[in-house]
Structure 1
């Protein structure tokens, strides 16, 4: 599981600004890390499955994933629709 780390001053800010304790903040950071710190390939495969279950067609899915990749906080190259398709199907 990916662990999201915060600077101590920001951690203290969150604890003092919201009705959460250290345990809940740690749990939230674990969940956020799990979601946002995935490698691009993991994200593509997972997101493809989610969107297929919602009934979207592959061409729609590829475009949506392409847009979503641009806003993800992981480092990675921009990917073409063909590259996204190759991650999913090999």
Structure 2
């Protein structure tokens, strides 16, 4: 086990295919896995804030977030606009 990642085969594959050292490959794998392990609720809140900061309004934001969730590598549950609003506003 390298740096908390249990899949040594994955780390070895990343290291051999990229030329990275095993330690750097382990950090890359950990970073990617952490990105995809982010719970849907946290992802929705983060993306909502990012899109609001870009000047978008909720009628534009919620369809974008719903589409992004459907396309995530580790699929989040399908959430309605109402559920997305509840995540953001409680």
Give the TM-score of the pair, scaled to structure 2.
0.81
**Could you tell me how far apart the structure 2 residues matched to 1:6 and 1:70 are?**
27
Matched, 1:30 2:30: yes
1:78 shift after superposition: 0.7
Unaligned 5+ residue runs, structure 2?
none
**Could you tell me how far apart the structure 1 residues matched to 2:87 and 2:54 are?**
20
RMSD: 2.2
Give the TM-score of the pair, scaled to structure 1.
0.81
Number of residue pairs the alignment of both structures matches: 88
Q: Could you say which structure has the greater relative contact order, defined with CA pairs below 8 angstroms and 6 or more residues apart?
A: 1
1:73 shift after superposition: 3.6
Unaligned 5+ residue runs, structure 1?
none
